[in-house]
Structure 1
Amino acid sequence: RTMLINSDKKGLLTVGDRDPRVTKIGYYLRKSKLDELPQLFNVLLGEMSLVGPRPEVRKYVDLYSKDDMQVLSVRPGITDYASIHFRNENEILKGATNPEKKYIDEIMPIKLNLNKKYISEKGFIKDIKIIFSTIASIFK
């Protein structure tokens, strides 16, 4: 297990490097991004692609504007511009007095804009660049 039982009742966002809801093994898996490997099965099943907008929690999708909904028109991916840009999202949220408000007001709009950028530019070469950028960001 990577999360403690019923941890979702304490919030949907993981905050900081030592979120008490995350087990020691889960912390390592998240830090190294190894927790993303099971999603490769979703890619093999055709439910996801390697590159595309990351799936968002329903609670936050309900806040999307009509224009934002276009990010749901493409197959979700394991990585995208936002994954690279917000690699340290939990660290950003750690210092916030209200992490969820900060996520909704500041981070989510940037993620949506990056997802829209991907949709307008998507292509094989762009996907390859995003994959390599993701791999490079893991080793930073």
Structure 2
Amino acid sequence: MVLKWIFDRLMALIGLLILWPVLLVVAILVKVKMPGGPALFVQKRVGKDGKLFDCHKFRTMTVKHNGSTVSVAGDSRITPLGAKLRHYKLDELPGLWDVLIGNMSFVGPRPDVPGYADQLKRDDRDVLKLRPGITGPATLKYRLEDEMIADYVAKKQAEGDKRDAQEIAVEYNDTVIYPDKVRLNYYYYHHYSFMKDIQMMCCTVLGKKMEYNHELI
């Protein structure tokens, strides 16, 4: 994957040089629209070989909040500006820095919080041999994950489920979405293709779908 390593750093540098005005504008908007906290959200995530690193994003939630790492569309913790940043993936732009310094790749599994990565068993731990990515097969398939979870929560509650929305969301993530992401990322590791990486990046930017492992993502 030497070509991937070179491509990541070169494109991250070019991206930062071209997009720095966008990053500046978004940072200012976050500070103005969501005062009282930093523009960037920095959190420890699990990287290549299970090593922790600081993952950078634009902040999309209120400063003082408690709750699960699983978020739902309409979550009160997510500000109106934050919802827009998430929908258009602008909150991910600071990840270009993480790619440039080698903690992340453009394409790979999304970096998990420690609690989830620790659950990987046996062959599934092959996923940890990859640098986490800004996009990837699982990211493409679940690009509207917040909305998907919200729809599921609404469906369950309409059926009479009396549990808290966050509890339903976590269950759906843990039993359906997360295992499927692991499956996709495991396939990616064992069937790596540089051209597929390029295709995934283009689909991410353009908001398009693509065929991958005999399914549409």
Normalising by structure 2, report the TM-score: 0.60
Other-structure match for 1:59: 115
The whole-number CA distance in structure 2 between the counterparts of 1:88 and 1:50 is 19
Moved more, 78-87 or 95-104: 95-104
Partner of 1:2: 60
Matches within 5 A, 1:1-140: 1-7=59-65, 9-16=66-73, 18-94=74-150, 95-96=152-153, 98-137=168-207
Q: Which residue of 1 aligns with 2:40?
A: none
Number of corresponding residues: 137
For structure 2, the residue ranges without an aligned partner over 5 or more in a row are 1-58, 157-167, 209-217
Which protein is richer in strand relative to its size?
2
- 1:71 CA displacement: 0.6
Secondary structure at the counterpart of residue 78 of structure 1: strand
Distance in 2 separating the partners of 1:24 and 1:127: 32
1:59-104 CA-to-partner distances (Å, cap 9, x unmatched) read 1112221221111111111000011101111112113251111101
Higher relative contact order (CA 8 A, sep 6+): 1
SS for the counterpart of 2:207 is: helix
CA contact (8 A) 2:87 2:144 kept: no
1: distance between equivalents of 2:202 and 2:191? 17
Task: Report deviation, 1:125.
Answer: 0.9
SS in 2 for 1:75: coil
Q: Is the 8 A contact 2:109 2:132 kept in 1?
A: yes
Let me know the Cα RMSD of the aligned residues: 1.7
Q: Deviations over 1:101-139 (max 9, x none)?
A: 11010011110011011111213211101111212227x
3-state secondary structure, aligned to 1:50: strand
* TM-score, scaled to structure 1: 0.90
What secondary structure does 1:113 align onto? helix
Identical counterparts, % of pairs: 40
- Report the Cα distance in structure 2 between the residues aligned to 1:118 and 1:128, rounded to whole angstroms: 13
**Distance (whole Å) between structure 2 residues aligned to residue 135 and residue 121 of structure 1:** 23
* SS at structure 1 position matched to 2:134: strand
Shift, 1:2, TM fit: 2.0
